[in-house]
Chains A and B, each alone.
Chain A
Amino acid sequence: GAGVSQSPRYKVAKRGQDVALRCDPISGHVSLFWYQQALGQGPEFLTYFQNEAQLDKSGLPSDRFFAERPEGSVSTLKIQRTQQEDSAVYLCASSSRTFSNQPQHFGDGTRLSIL
């Protein structure tokens, strides 16, 4: 596709449920990032993939958060045993190369609400 695609756009879950968020990056983009954006805040880094390798997961807030990109394209962010503080917009971004000066292209995000 022309841009980064994320699904679902909205997700409502009860506390304690597991959720899975999908990101389809721009075709051919090597780098993929996940960010979490709480209400009224800027996006905060969660994790980074270069192809299928997860090179940085320093931003994942707990071991309930898990991300994968098994074939180096589509990525899934999974949150287990969701809690209310997990409510946020989850953004996915991709870039064509691995250099730190490469701009990232963002998807529309998944708005997650935990009841």
Chain B
Amino acid sequence: AQSVSQHNHHVILSEAASLELGCNYSYGGTVNLFWYVQYPGQHLQLLLKYFSGDPLVKGIKGFEAEFIKSKFSFNLRKPSVQWSDTAEYFCAVSYTGTASKLTFGTGTRLQVTL
């Protein structure tokens, strides 16, 4: 079965610290990769996505992610986090030919302290 692993369940950082959240997916063919964020009390929102081309993708709010095909990874990074980045982050994958359904990781709760 297709699966997505997020190794960090809860991360606590001080403001201005750098962030890297891990995401690995199981092989299943051509993939489309997404990071979604859920701020407290809000719905899931798309941060960034990778379909093809440059493996380093940039998203909103200074986030970026790198697709490393050989490692089946799509890690999320931000050089300097802000208190407002406190949220839950979900990595998700869809496989070409599976009617667009997303397989999500279990999420990483990020807490940024002042």
**Chain A interfacial positions (CB closer than 8 Å to B):** 3-4, 31, 33, 35, 40-45, 48, 50, 55-56, 59, 91, 93, 95, 98-109
Given A42-B104, A43-B102, A108 contacting B43 (CB threshold 8 A): yes
Tell me how many residue pairs across A and B have CB atoms closer than 8 Å: 70
Instruction: Find the residue from B92, B95, B97, B100 having the highest chain A CB count within 10 A.
Output: B100
Contacts of A45 in B (CB 8 A): 101-103
**In the docked arrangement, what's the CA distance between A33 and B94, Å?**
13
Determine if A42 and B106 form an interchain contact, defined as CB atoms under 8 angstroms apart.
yes
Contacts of A109 in B (CB 8 A): 43
Given A91-B44, A106-B44, A99 contacting B100 (CB threshold 8 A): yes
By beta carbon, the residue of chain B nearest A6 is B43
14 A-B pairs whose Cβ atoms sit less than 8 Å apart in the complex: A33-B102, A41-B106, A42-B104, A42-B106, A43-B102, A45-B102, A56-B101, A98-B100, A100-B97, A103-B34, A103-B46, A104-B102, A106-B36, A106-B43
**In the docked arrangement, what's the CA distance between A48 and B102, Å?**
10
Determine if B46 and A100 form an interchain contact, defined as CB atoms under 8 angstroms apart.
no
**Chain B interfacial positions (CB closer than 8 Å to A):** 4, 6, 32, 34, 36, 42-46, 49, 51, 90, 92, 94-107
The distance from the CB of A28 to the nearest CB of chain B, in whole angstroms, is: 16
The distance from the CB of A85 to the nearest CB of chain B, in whole angstroms, is: 18
Given A42-B107, A101-B32, A107 contacting B99 (CB threshold 8 A): no
Determine if A55 and B99 form an interchain contact, defined as CB atoms under 8 angstroms apart.
yes
